[in-house]
Chains A and B, each alone.
Chain A
Amino acid sequence: MVEQSEVRVVRCGGSKINLRPPIISTDSRFVLCASGDSVKVYSTRTEEWLHSLQGHTNQVTGITLNPANHLQVYSCSADGTVKLWDFIDGILIKTFIIGYPLFAIYVSEKHDGIVFLHIAMDTDSKNECFQLVAVHLPKSAEQEVEAKELSAVSSRISPNPSCTAFGREGQYIAFARHLQLNVYFFRKQKTYSFSLKATDKKGAKNAFTCIACHPADDCIATGHEDGKIRLWRNFIHTKEYTYSTQHWHHNAVNTVCFTPEGTNLLSGGIESVLVQWQYGAGNRKEFLPRLGGSILHVSTSSDGQLFCTSHSDNKITVIESSFKVCGVIQGLVKGDAVLTDLMIDPRSKALVLNGKPGHLQFYSLLRDKHLYNLDIVQQEYIYEAGLDQFEVVKAAFDIKGYWLATVEERGQKSSDLEFSLKLWAYDERTQSFVLNTTITAAHTDRIMSMCFSSSEETTMLVTTAEDGQFKAWCQGADADTQQDQNFWSCDFVGSYHNLKPTNCSFSADSSLLAVSFQEVITIWSPDTWELLTTLCQPPGVVRDLCFGQLSCSKYLIATTTRNLLCCWNLLTCALEWSTSVEVSKLQPDPLSENVAAFSYQSKHTDLFVFKPNEPRPLFTHKNVCSEKMHRAVFVPREEPLNNCDESSQWLNRSQLYFLTQNMDLLTFSTATEEDRMLSSSKRLVIDDSVAVTPFYLLLGKHRQQQQKLNTPSHPAADKPQQPQGSLTCLLLSFPSLFFPPEMEMESSEQEMNSEKEEEHSEEEMEACDSQQELRAQGSVDEVTPKLSKAQERELKRVRKTDFSWMAGLIDSKP
Chain B
Amino acid sequence: MASFKPTKVQFLPKLGEKVTEETLYWKNYKSPVQIKEFGAITKIDFSPLPPHNYAVTASTRIHIYGPHSQEPIRSFTRFRDTAYGGRFRGDGKLLVAGSEEGLIRLFDISGRVALRQFKGHSKAVHMTSFLSDGFRVVSGSDDLSCRVWDVPSAVELSSLTQHTDYIRALAPSKLNPDLFVTGSYDHTVKVFDMRSGSSVMTMQHGHPVECVLLYPSEVLLVSTGGRYVKVWDLLKGGQELVSLKNHHKTVTCACVSSVGNKLLTGSLDRHVKVYNSSYKVAHNFDCDASILSMAIAPDDEALAVGMTNGVLSVRHRRHQKDKETLTSRRRRGPSYQVFVKGKNFAPRQDDFLVSKPVKQYLRKYDKQLKSFEVSKALDTALQTWTRTSKPDVTVAVIIELNRRGTLKNALAGRNEERCFCVLFFRHIFDPRFSRPLLMVGDIVLDLYQQVFHESPVVERLLQRLMEVLGREAELQQELLQVLGILDTLFTSLTPRKEVACVKTLQSISVLKTTDLSQEKRKIYHIYFE
- Within the assembled complex, what's the spacing in Å between the Cα atoms of A754 and B229? 84
A317: which B residues are within 8 A, CB to CB? 1
Pairwise interchain contact A444-B507, C-beta atoms closer than 8 A: yes
Interface string of A380-423 (1 = CB under 8 A from B): 10101001111000000000000000000010000000000000
Do A292 and B500 touch (CB < 8 A)? no
Partner of B4, one of A290, A388, A389: A290
- Indicate if A798 sits at the interface (CB-CB under 8 A): no
> Is B1 in contact with A493, judged by CB distance below 8 angstroms?
no
Task: Give the chain B neighbours of A410 by CB distance below 8 A.
Answer: 403
- Are A493 and B404 touching (Cβ within 8 A)? no
B2 lies within 8 A of chain A by Cβ? yes
Any chain B CB within 8 A of the CB of A92?
no
Alpha-carbon distance A66/B171, docked complex (angstroms): 105
User: Does B341 make an interface contact (CB < 8 A)?
Assistant: no
- Smallest Cβ distance from A481 to chain B, in angstroms? 9
* B333 surroundings in chain A (CB, below 8 A): none
Q: Does A771 contact B (CB under 8 A)?
A: no
Q: Across the interface, which residues of A come within 8 angstroms of B403, CB to CB?
A: 379, 389-390, 410
Let me know if A291 and B501 touch, CB within 8 A.
no
Q: Give the nearest-CB partner of B20 in chain A.
A: A483
With contact pairs A379-B403, A382-B404, A387-B405 given, residues A290 and B504 touching in the complex (Cβ less than 8 Å) = no
> Nearest Cβ distance between residue B305 and chain A, in whole angstroms?
31
Q: Report Cα–Cα, A292/B1, bound state, in Å.
A: 8
List the A residue with the shortest CB-CB distance to B511.
A444
Is A493 in contact with B5, judged by CB distance below 8 angstroms? Answer: no
Q: A440-B10, A444-B507 are in contact. Are A388 and B405 (CB under 8 A)?
A: yes
* B500 in contact with A378 (CB, 8 Å): no
Interface residues on B, range: 20 to 34
Q: Which of B326-368 contact A (CB under 8 A)?
A: none
Type the 1/0 row for A520-548, where 1 means its CB is closer than 8 Å to any CB of B. 00000000010000000000000000000
Q: Is the CB of A290 within 8 A of B3?
A: yes
CB pair A492–B497 under 8 Å, yes or no, is yes
Which of A288, A380, A388, A494 counts the most B-chain CB atoms under 10 A from its CB? A380
Given contacts A379-B8, A492-B497, contact A325 B504 (CB under 8 A): no
Complex partner residue of A495 from B1, B6, B500, CB under 8 angstroms: B500
Complex contacts, B11 vs chain A, CB 8 Å: 438
Q: Which residue of B lies closest to A317 (CB)?
A: B1
Q: In the complex, which residues of chain A have a beta carbon less than 8 angstroms from the beta carbon of B8?
A: 378-379
Known contacts A410-B403, A444-B507, A292 near B501 by CB under 8 Å: no
> Count the A-B residue pairs with Cβ separation under 8 angstroms: how many?
48
User: Chain A's interface: helix, strand, loop or mixed, by majority?
Assistant: loop
A380 and B501 form a contact (CB under 8 A):
no
Task: State whether A292 touches B2 (Cβ < 8 A).
Answer: yes
Let me know if A203 is at the binding interface, CB within 8 A.
no
Chain A residues within an 8 Å CB radius of B501: 493
Q: B504 near A289 (CB under 8 angstroms)?
A: no
Q: Could you give, for residues 315-352 of chain A, a 1 whenever the CB lies within 8 Å of some chain B CB and a 0 otherwise?
A: 00100000001000000000000000000000000000
- Are A493 and B500 in contact, CB atoms less than 8 angstroms apart? yes
| Chain A, 277-321, CB within 8 A of any chain B CB | 288-292, 317
Choose among B4, B403, B500, B508 the residue with the greatest number of A CB atoms under 10 Å from its CB. B403
Asked if residues A290 and B500 are in contact (CB atoms below 8 Å), the reply is: no
A469 within 8 A of B: yes
- A469–B504 Cα distance when bound, in Å, is 10
Q: How far does the alpha carbon of A222 sit from the alpha carbon of B496 in the complex, in Å? A: 68
Residues A379 and B1 in contact in the complex (CB < 8 Å), given A387-B405, A493-B497 = no
Task: Check A288–B1 contact: CB distance below 8 A.
Answer: yes
Given A379-B8, A444-B507, A493-B497, answer yes or no on A290-B2 (Cβ-Cβ < 8 Å): yes
**A499 to chain B: closest CB distance in Å?**
15
Contact A469 B1 (CB under 8 A): no
What string of 1s and 0s marks CB contacts (under 8 Å) between B361-380 and chain A? 00000000110000000000
Q: A382-B404, A410-B403, A493-B497 are in contact. Are A325 and B1 (CB under 8 A)?
A: yes
Option from B5, B404, B508 in Cβ contact (under 8 Å) with A378:
B5
Residue of B nearest to A289 (CB): B1
Closest A-chain residue to B5, C-beta based?
A380
Residue pair A291, B1 in contact (C-beta under 8 Å): yes
Chain B nearest Cβ from A122, distance in angstroms = 45
Whether B1 contacts A290 by the Cβ 8 Å rule is: yes
A69 and B501 CA atoms in complex are apart in Å by 75
Interface positions of B (Cβ within 8 A of A): 1-8, 10-11, 369-370, 400, 403-405, 496-497, 500-501, 504, 507-508, 511
